[in-house]
Amino acid sequence: MRLTDHLKHLGLSNAEAKKALQTGKVFLHGVPTADGGRDIEPYRVELRPEAPKLTPGRDLVIVHKDDDLIVIWKPAGMLSVPAGKAGGHLNAVGLVSKLTRSPILTVHRIDQGTSGLMMMARNEAAQLHLKAQLEKHTVERRYIALIHGRPPDKKWSVTNHLVDDRGDGLRGSVDGRPPHHAKKATTEFTHLERIGKHINLVEAKLHTGRTHQVRIHLSEAGTPILGDERYGTPAANRGVDRLCLHAVVLGIEHPTTGETMRFTGSTPDSMEKLMRSLKHQAANPLPKRKKSRKPKKHRS
């Protein structure tokens, strides 16, 4: 069922549904969406008329908050932590601290161009506990990505050692015996869906959490993520205005209670609309232009 149709079943007029979507009153998996054209399961949708006004896809969303832990949905384009560059003061940690009026401690980060779930600690004990889970690789972290190219199989995994400079100025893997400073990186991939002739949707499950790990593993396999200006290709980036990588699942043990917690964030509107567009193009290809034939010259 389309989201707009579901909102009509809830009694909203077209104008009311449009306003609710645009002002962040419609939640999917606990995250506001403005994409009324997406297919949904009605039980996953919440209409929250009293929710604070925000712009879905642009504004940060606090998904969970307690005395020890905060889980957020970070929009693409926002830094995770402060950085010493232009706009570096506009970051998720700083914004959450402002919204909660309390100190926030970093646990991990996701790339500026990546959207999705990210956790933070509210005290030092919680921070140490959550970081220990990351070091033991017990945190469940799953991403979805749109890639250019054909996956090698339904399921596959990549394990290698990453260095800061693989020889071309970029992070990446090295052949042969890894140097002492290299860090082991393992990602498990699953092919989810074919989106178009050259585009596929995959899931990446992290067993380690190295910088740019998923982006590097997919790029070096010849299947770069759409919109990846660092590791991608012109063909993969054509007509795409964001890095199509999204942190969709975060599973942890609560640092105080020990409770198993698992969060799922909906696909961002920008990626959802891009997938619909690509599917439409694949189903309705433009007709090939017929080559014009030059008139034959008649001999006199």
pLDDT tens digits, residue range 89-116?
A: 689 999 999 999 999 999 999 999 999 9
What mean pLDDT do residues 82-93 have? 77
For 285, residues 6+ apart whose C-beta sits below 8 A from its C-beta are none
Per domain, the residue ranges of the chain are 1-56, 57-283
pLDDT at 59: 96
Architecture of domain 57-283: 2-Layer Sandwich (3.30)
Q: What is the pLDDT of residue 297?
A: 63
> Is pLDDT at 87 greater than 60 in this prediction?
no
CA distance 137 to 188: 13
Q: What is the pLDDT of residue 282?
A: 87
Hey, what CATH topology would domain 1-56 get?
Answer: 3.10.290
Structure token digits, residue 16: 């009311």
How high is the pLDDT of residue 90?
A: 84
Please confirm, yes or no, whether 111 is among the known catalytic residues.
yes
Would you state the pLDDT for residue 286?
A: 75
Catalytic residue among 111, 153, 164, 175: 111
Contact yes or no for 125/198 (Cβ under 8 A):
no
